[in-house]
Structure 1
Amino acid sequence: MLMNINEIRQLAVWIRDAGLTVLELKRPGFELLIRRGEPGQNRALEPAAVRIAAESSAASAHVITASNPGMFVSTHPDERNSYVKPGDTVATGQLLGLLRIGLLYLPVRSKQAGRVVRFLAAEEEWVGYGQPLIELEG
């Protein structure tokens, strides 16, 4: 039983929605362990994320979401300035921030051109898969 990344991401969503903290699957030749923070902690964050997504659903707004769980940072530790700040104009594919997963940094890129309205995730905030990070306009 092999799983692709999209199936694992879907499992992470189901785990979050169910309020679970751990899922462990073991089969011959395959092991998967997914851990999340405390269920009360995650549920406390979800209503705000849902509210922000609803507020941002205007026709001209676009929300950049987390492609993976991790810690959101607006710049690499070796650099001084944030990649973008509210009010900046960005191009499609432009680097907006990073998701830190252990020692790995994954890029958060713009899926469309526009203007940064606001950050929806705080600096060094732990975020879940699909959580809103940045709101763009235009």
Structure 2
Amino acid sequence: MFFARTPEKTDMQDTTLRTPQLAAWLAGTDIGLLELRTPEGTLRLGRQGDEIVELPDEEAEPELLNIHAPSLGVFLQSHPMATTSLVRIGQRVEAGQIVGLLKIGPLLLPVTAPQAGIVDNIHADDATAVGYGAPLFDLHPL
């Protein structure tokens, strides 16, 4: 039989006291960052080289990365032969993944994610003419 334990004010203190043990466990994995949040605070452990260190709490959200049109053309959210969009808001994408297309005459030019992230916003409507450098997507970097 298992019993749920309600969080107490000592939870963050207990976590802080166990930091060396948590760091040792983290060192035995391929995890790059461990973040524990409680109402009393946050503990962040991460890799710096071969060592596991306590990292400062990052309260600020990371800046959004804008993905711009690499050329002028007609922005397409899906391939003309497909019925589903290449990406949706909230979707995780990998570096180099095609997130949209630019139609330039008969040519389809891929628009790719420069790094891994979460799609936060799509600025251009489907089948809209866009100019070089027009903002197409916002990406939360991972």
TM range (shorter): 0.5 to 0.7
Task: State the partner residue of 1:101.
Answer: 104
Q: Within 5 Å, give how 1:52-131 maps onto structure 2.
A: 59-131=62-134
Distance 1:121 1:135 in 2: 11
Question: What are the ranges of 5 or more consecutive residues in structure 1 without an aligned counterpart?
Answer: 1-57
Structure showing the higher helix proportion among its residues: 1
* 3-state SS of 2:96 partner: coil
Cα RMSD, aligned residues only: 1.1
* 3-state SS of 2:118 partner: strand
Q: CA offset at residue 67 of structure 1?
A: 0.5
Question: What are the ranges of 5 or more consecutive residues in structure 2 without an aligned counterpart?
Answer: 1-60
Q: What are the Cα deviations for residues 83-105 of structure 1, in whole angstroms up to 9, with x where unaligned?
A: 10001000000010100011110
| Count of matched residue pairs | 81
Give the greater-gyration-radius structure (CA).
Answer: 2
Percent of aligned pairs with the same amino acid = 41
Distance 2:123 2:78 in 1: 15
TM-score for the superposition, normalised by structure 2: 0.55
TM-score for the superposition, normalised by structure 1: 0.57
* Contact 2:62–2:140 (8 Å) recurs in 1: no
Distance 2:62 2:69 in 1: 21
Distance 1:118 1:61 in 2: 10
Q: What are the Cα deviations for residues 115-134 of structure 1, in whole angstroms up to 9, with x where unaligned?
A: 00110111111100011001
Runs of 4+ residues deviating >2 angstroms:
none
More contact order relative to length (CA 8 Å, sep ≥ 6): 1
